[in-house]
Amino acid sequence: FYATNLPKRLTDPVMTLPTHVYAVITNFPEDAYWMAYASAALMIIIVIAIYSIVQWIRRRSS
């Protein structure tokens, strides 16, 4: 799924971060790889944040 324009509404389609990383790696020169690294770092930060919130909720409920 590849979107080339910014969404105007909440229900508009958007490009996922993994698709964005793939698009940057395959379509841009090596000078733009920093965008792929930044997107991958953002994905890792999001996963760690979600995991931390779930662990906090789990500890609070026990």
- The secondary structure element, H or E, covering residue 44 is helix 33-61
This prediction's pTM? 0.70
- Is 23 a member of any domain? yes
Mean pLDDT (the chain, rounded)? 88
Residue 35, domain member (yes or no)? yes
- Is the residue at 31 inside a domain? yes
Range of the domain at 46: 17-61
Percent of the chain with pLDDT over 70: 94
- Model confidence band, residue 47 (pLDDT cutoffs 50, 70, 90): very high
Asked whether the predicted pLDDT for residue 30 surpasses 60, the reply is: yes
The pLDDT value recorded for residue 42 is 94
Amino acid, single-letter form, for residue 34: W
The total number of structural domains that make up the chain: 1
Task: Quickly state the pLDDT bin for 3 (edges 50, 70, 90).
Answer: low
Of residues 36, 38, 35, 57, the one with CA closest to residue 46: 38
Which amino acid belongs to residue 62?
S
Q: Is residue 1 part of a domain?
A: no
Please check whether residue 2 lies inside any domain of the structure. no
Tell me, yes or no, whether 12 lies in a domain: no
Structural domain contains residue 4: no
Question: Is residue 11, in this structure, part of any structural domain at all?
Answer: no
